[in-house]
Every structure is written in C-alpha cells, then in structure tokens.
C-alpha cells in the first residue's frame, strides 16, 4: 500500500527529498483559513519541483505560488474532514516516517573496506536467477520453519540436477517468475537488497547459493555469469507497442511496421525524426527517442543488451522484440565505469541509507548517542533486575501485569520504565526456560541501546529541519491523495449523468482525426502491385486477395485504422506526405478501403479521456469553492522578498 500511495503522490506532489531551507528564510508568508504557512515549506517545494523539471517546464515563483496555495487549500479541506485523525492515515504516516528516519539513525563513519567492496560490486555485473519463498511480515515460527523446509527441499533438488528455471516457474512466489522463470538479468552493487546482493557476489558462477533470508522471504540464487561492467549507456529507441495477448496477425503487422521504419533508416532517414513520428513511447519519442543514461540492470534487458552490443556511437539495431513490443535501438554514447575516487562519495552516501549493509555503523552511532545524551539510572534498577532471575514466559507476563511504570533510567530526563523493559523481552519471543542473569543483563544492554535510538528518533524533527519538512510533505501529500480521491476521482467515476452532460457541452474536444480504414498491401514487384490493384478495382474482398497471395515471398498486408504517421504508404497516398517513402516504394503499395474525414468520437470511445477532463473540471470548481471557504491572506512584503530571492537564485 505504501509504495502504491507513494507512486501516486509523485504525480500529485512530485514527492520531495533533501533540499534544505535556510533557517533565516523561515517566516510566515500567508494564512489559509487562519493556519500559518511558512516560507521554508514553500521554498523547499518550489526548489525541488523546479530542479526536477526541464527548463521549458519550470515555473516562475509567482506561477508556482498559485499551485502551492491550491495544494494547501486541499490539505486544509482534508483536515477539516478529519482525514488526519483516521487510524489508517496515522498508520500509513507512521510507516513512512519510520522509513524516512532510517538514514538519520545510522553512523556517518563508513568502513573503508566496505566502500572498496562496494566499488568492486559496482564495477562487476552478476547475471543470476532466483527462487523466492515468501515469509509474511509477522510470520509465526511455524510459518517460518515451513518456508525454510520448502526452500531447503528446492535447493536439494536444484543441487541434484533439477532444472533451476523449471523449479522457479513452478514454485517461486515471485510473480515475475511466471514470465521470466526467475531470470533477473545482469545487476551490480546497490541494485538488490543487501543479503541477496552479498550472496550473489559470493557464489561462484554456475553454482547455487546457500539459502538467503531477506525481508521478502527465503531465496535461492543461481549465478549464471559475472563480467566487468560495461559502464553507462546513452541510447535512443523507436518503439512499436504490442498489446499483451495480441493475435499473430496483429503482431505481424506491428513487426512489419518496425521493419518498414528500419528500411527508412537504411535509406538515410533521420532517426530522431522517425522516433518523433512513429515511436509509441511518446515521452522519449518527443525527444527524438532519447532515453536517460542507464546501466544494464536499470533498463529493459533486450534494450540494454542490444545497445551495449552496438560497436560505435551512431550505430542502430534491427528491430528487437521485448515484452513490450519491437524496438529499434541506437547507440548515442558510452561512459566507462568511474574511478574509485570518483565513485567514492556516491558509495558512502548509499551506504548511509542502507543500515543493514553495515551493522558496525549502527553500533558506532549508538556510542555517539551515549556521549551526546545523559543517562541516569534509578538507584533501585539493579536490585529490580536481579528479581527477574529465573523468570519464565508466564511469570514475566504476570510481572508485566502487576508492575508499575517506575523508571529504570532516563535519557535527557525522558524516563524508560520497567514495563517497557518487560515488553522488550517478550518481543524477543523468550521461551519457557527460566531467564539467567546473563540473559537479563544482555537484554538490558540491548534495551538501553534501543532506548537511545528511540530517544534520538523522537528528536529528529527538532534537530533536522529537512526531516521535519520531509515528513510534513508526506503528511500533506497523503491527505491530498485522500481528499482528491473523494472529491474528484471517485465522484467523477460515479457521476455518469454529469459525465454525459460534460461530454455534450465539450463535444468539440473529442473530434476524430482523419484516418484511412482498410487494408494496405505491400507487393514484391510492380507487376504484382498492378495485379492487386486490378482485384481491388474489381471489388474483390480483402480476404480473397490475401488468400491468393499470402504464400508469395515478399508480400505482406496490414488491416486497420491508419492515422497520419501510422503507415508510410498511407501517409504517401492519403495524407500527401511525399517524404515518408520514395515514389518507387509507394508504387509497390496498394490501398483498399476508405478515407474518413474528421468527426466526433462517441462517448464510449473516448470515455477515458473525457473522464480525465471531467475530473479536471471538477477539481477547478472545487478549488474555487475552497478559496471562498478558506480565505487566503498573503503577506505581500514577505512574499515579495521570497520571490525576489528565489528568482535570483
């Protein structure tokens, strides 16, 4: 749930991370419904949002101010509805805060050997497959043992020669195994959870790892290859999307389109222009097909392997198939792996965010906290601890029910009680055997360590403005998601009458583009093209023509609706675009069908687009109401100073 909410919040809020605001900049810049809004929050959001966008999409501070006000109005409305008091909201926010706090609860000193180990892993790629047996988050010992027995049985079968891919397909609880049979492709350091990564790099090629425990469950890893990292690739592609479950005929049509565009490239056409015109990846297509820089494990394997196989910058591939369709891939540039000194800061930063990679860092951090904060132990604590000698699980429970909240010790005057310590022991799933003094002392030491971490965690908002703002951003973003879902998304989805009225009032927005509907025949010679043309003129049905010529080498056909840019021959004859193919090539194509002018799409065909437009309309109306309900009072002098300062930066 947390990940799905986070992905939506990225679209709503462009969820933000660590840009610090100068404490001197913090001042009240406005009130919304009486609530004070401070400059540091506005500056943090504005700077991060603009830094994450291309120059052409960046907004001026004044433009962003209006978006910020709308955002805060919606949050204010959610709070007025009590959405921040719901247990589901509190639980979700607590989980996020726990994740966000993790980097702040580790030591900044990172072992140099670990840094060098991670550099080796970042410069070496591992190709592996895996089998996963999941373990529920709060699994009982019996459930954990059951999972271990299952994975152990699978390991014995794999070691004894059973096909690993078949075992993954039949038994792995990783959903992707149904498609990839456990194959993960190549990956390098920091791309997998730490226990998995460690086992993969320590297992020799061709062998199967010991059983590995991660937060997802138990894994078996089969290492298939290791190689030096080829570095980072900058590439472009032209994509021809194939819908899952497409018929062989539809697949063949799309493949033929990809081959047609490939031939245009061979005849000297510009790759970027073809990507803009034909690529179904509209985001990269608008930029000439250019993709972000990537390492092999960070891109669709078929694209990555194809790009790295190209020998020179500027080379392009034949169409290659991926699970998403066909791609023509062009190599733009390659960067070799950076040196150790160049990568070291990035490695250290990543290690700080991953406490499980360095348990020593956690111990060092606790030592630091002990020197920073004052612990005062109650004079009677040691006597009370001695009274626990010989306690069993049942007697501990009885003691927990009868004990008071008398403190064992305090950290900077914050008390930690006897009851908390007993609960700490019980969480360790202590068995029925009587506790020994050694066990009690060990538990007590660990409890004190945990208490120092708990106290530090309670101080994070005070010590780190970045952290306070980060948690507030998620708090507000989660409220924004919930209130928008209620007031806009769900409302629009259920209001069928309102949707129909909106469509009727905005029908001009849903005109159809001109298109050609019918069949395009591509012939191997002008003689065959003339023969096909005669059959078309004679009124022969397309199925008869196809049946007659389907076994002829070099003959192909496509049937469907063709808008401008969908097919070079249609572009040439119907849309009068003479640059897509040569006149000679056009002479090999015969069209059978009809050109349709622009018109109106029926609501059933544009429901998705119309629904999105209706949601946008509802949102604008809602914001207008909120501005009336919660007066916005801007402190103009403070705003002017902030806007001037931000614009200069």
* Range name among 190-194, 224-228, 267-271, 621-625 with the lowest pLDDT average: 190-194
- Crossing angle of helices 39-51 and 636-648, rounded to 10°: 30
Residues of the chain with pLDDT > 90, as a percent, come to 64
Residue showing tokens 């030096």:
228
Alpha carbon distance 442, 448 (integer Å): 10
Longest dimension (CA), the chain: 107
Query: For residues 217 and 114, is the Cβ–Cβ distance under 8 A?
Result: no
Distance CA 580, CA 198 (A): 52
Q: How far apart are CA 318 and CA 300, in angstroms?
A: 17
Q: Residue 446 has what pLDDT? A: 94
A 10 A CB-CB count for 466 gives 18
Q: What is the pLDDT of residues 196-205, one digit of tens each?
A: 999 999 999 9
Is the pLDDT confidence value at 454 over 50? yes
Q: Determine the Cα–Cα distance for residues 403 and 376; give it in Å rounded to an integer.
A: 21
CA atoms of 425 and 440, how far apart (whole Å): 9
pLDDT at residue number 7: 41
pLDDT of 409 > 90? The answer is yes
Q: How far apart are CA 85 and CA 75, in angstroms?
A: 13
- Asked if 133 and 147 count as a contact pair (C-beta separation under 8 A), the reply is yes
pLDDT at 17: 33
**For 320-370, what is each residue's pLDDT tens digit?**
999 899 999 999 999 999 999 999 999 888 887 776 776 766 787 898 999
Does the structure show a pLDDT above 50 at 183?
A: yes
Residues pairing with 640 in the sheet? none
Look at residue 152 in the predicted model and tell me its pLDDT: 96
Q: Choose the most confident range, by mean pLDDT, from 162-171, 185-194, 385-394.
A: 162-171
Fold assignment, 112-228 = Chitinase A; domain 3 (3.10.50)
Place of tokens 């066990």: 439
C-alpha distances out from residue 615 to 73, 497, 623, Å: 18, 14, 12
Residue 603: closest CA among 458, 498, 471, 447? 498
Structure-block tokens of residue 167: 């075992």
- Residue 328 in 3-state DSSP? strand
User: Which token pair is 245?
Assistant: 């479950």
Could you confirm whether domain 242-295+306-334 is CATH 3.40.50.720? no
User: Mean pLDDT throughout 582-596?
Assistant: 88
The pLDDT score that the predictor gives to residue 8 is: 40
Helices (H), 230-358: 248-266, 271-278, 282-285, 301-309, 340-352
Domain map (residue ranges) of the chain: 112-228, 242-295+306-334, 371-460, 514-597
Average pLDDT over residues 468-474: 92
What would the mean pLDDT of 529-543 be, rounded to a whole number?
95
Give the model's pLDDT for residue 4.
41
Long-range contacts: 595-602, Cβ < 8 Å, 24+? 595/514, 595/515, 595/516, 596/512, 596/514, 596/515, 596/516, 596/517, 597/514, 598/511, 598/512, 598/513, 598/514, 599/511, 599/512, 600/507, 600/510, 600/511, 600/512, 601/510, 601/511, 601/512
**Which token pair is 187?**
């990956």
Sign of CA pseudo-dihedral 445, 447, 453, 455: negative
Give the number of other Cβ atoms within 10 Å of residue 499's Cβ: 19
Give the confidence band of 314 by pLDDT, cuts at 50, 70, 90: very high
Least confident residue range of 141-145, 439-443, 471-475, 526-530: 141-145
Lowest mean pLDDT among 25-39, 43-57, 433-447, 570-584: 43-57
Residue range 80-98: mean pLDDT, rounded: 94
The length of the chain in residues reads 649
* Cα–Cα distance, 106 to 98 (Å, whole number): 13
Is-above-0.85 flag for pTM?
A: no
- What was the pLDDT predicted at 431? 55
Q: Which two tokens stand for residue 515?
A: 């298109």
Cβ contacts of residue 12 below 8 Å, gap of 6+? 477, 480, 481, 484
112-228 with 242-295+306-334: one CATH topology?
yes
Three-state SS string across 109-135, please? CCCHHHHHHHHHHHCEEEEEEEEEEEC
| Cα–Cα distance, 534 to 528 (Å, whole number) | 10
């Amino acid at each position: 749930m947390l990940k799905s909410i986070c992905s939506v919040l990225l679209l709503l809020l462009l969820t933000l991370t660590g840009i610090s605001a100068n404490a001197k900049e913090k001042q009240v810049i406005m009130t919304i419904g009486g609530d004070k809004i401070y400059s540091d929050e506005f500056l943090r959001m504005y700077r991060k949002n603009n830094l994450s966008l291309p120059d052409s999409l960046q907004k001026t501070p004044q433009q962003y101010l209006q978006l910020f006000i709308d955002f805060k109005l919606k949050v204010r409305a959610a709070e007025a509805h009590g959405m921040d008091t719901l247990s589901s909201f509190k639980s979700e926010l607590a989980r996020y805060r726990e994740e966000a706090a993790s980097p702040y609860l580790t030591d900044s000193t990172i072992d140099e050997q670990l840094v060098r180990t991670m550099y080796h892993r970042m410069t070496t790629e591992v190709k592996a497959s895996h089998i996963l047996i999941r373990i529920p988050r709060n699994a009982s010992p019996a459930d954990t043992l059951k999972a271990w027995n299952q994975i152990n049985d699978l390991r014995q079968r794999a070691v004894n020669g059973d096909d690993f891919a078949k075992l993954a397909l039949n038994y792995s609880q990783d959903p992707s195994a149904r498609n990839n049979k456990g194959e993960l492709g190549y990956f390098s350091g920091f791309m997998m959870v730490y226990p998995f990564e460690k086992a993969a790099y320590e297992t020799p090629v061709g062998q199967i790892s010991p059983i590995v425990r991660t937060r997802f469950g138990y894994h078996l890893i089969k290492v298939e290859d290791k190689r030096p990292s080829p570095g980072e690739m900058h590439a472009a592609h032209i994509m021809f999307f194939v819908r899952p479950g497409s018929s062989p005929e539809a697949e063949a049509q799309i493949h033929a389109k990809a081959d047609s565009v490939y031939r245009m490239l061979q005849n000297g056409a510009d790759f970027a222009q073809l990507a803009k015109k034909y690529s179904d990846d509209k985001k990269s297509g608008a930029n000439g097909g250019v993709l972000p820089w990537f390492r092999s494990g960070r891109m669709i394997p078929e694209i990555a392997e194809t790009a790295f196989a190209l020998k020179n910058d500027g080379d392009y591939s034949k169409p290659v198939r991926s699970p998403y369709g066909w791609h023509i891939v062009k190599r733009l540039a390659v960067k070799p792996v950076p040196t150790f000194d160049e990568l070291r800061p990035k490695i250290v930063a990543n290690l700080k965010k991953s406490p499980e990679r360095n348990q020593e860092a956690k111990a060092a951090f606790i030592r630091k906290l002990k020197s920073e904060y004052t612990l005062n132990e109650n004079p009677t604590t040691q006597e009370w601890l001695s009274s626990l000698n010989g306690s069993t699980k049942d007697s501990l429970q009885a003691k927990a029910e009868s004990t008071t909240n008398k403190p064992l010790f305090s950290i900077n005057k914050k008390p930690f009680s006897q009851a908390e310590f007993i609960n700490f022991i019980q969480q360790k799933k202590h068995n029925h055997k009587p506790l020994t003094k050694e066990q009690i002392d060990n538990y007590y030491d660990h409890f004190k360590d945990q208490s120092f971490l708990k106290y530090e965690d309670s101080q994070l908002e005070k010590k780190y403005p970045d952290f306070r703002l980060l948690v507030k951003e998620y708090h507000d973003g989660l409220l924004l998601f919930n209130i928008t879902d209620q007031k806009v998304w769900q409302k629009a989805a259920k209001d069928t009458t309102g949707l129909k009225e909106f469509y009727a009032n905005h029908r001009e927005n849903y005109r159809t583009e001109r298109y050609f509907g019918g069949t395009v025949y591509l012939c191997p010679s002008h003689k065959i093209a003339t023969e096909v043309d005669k059959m078309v003129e004679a009124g022969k049905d397309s199925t008869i023509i196809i049946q007659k010529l389907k076994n002829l080498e070099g003959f192909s056909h496509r049937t469907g609706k063709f808008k401008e840019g969908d097919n070079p021959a249609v572009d040439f004859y119907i849309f009068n675009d003479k640059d897509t193919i040569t006149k000679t090539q056009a002479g090999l194509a015969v069209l059978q069908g009809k050109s349709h002018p622009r018109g109106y799409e029926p609501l059933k065909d544009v429901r998705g687009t119309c629904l999105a437009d209706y949601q946008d309309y509802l949102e604008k109306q809602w914001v207008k109401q909120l501005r009336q309900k919660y007066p916005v009072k801007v402190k103009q002098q403070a705003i002017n100073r902030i806007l001037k300062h931000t614009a200069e930066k």
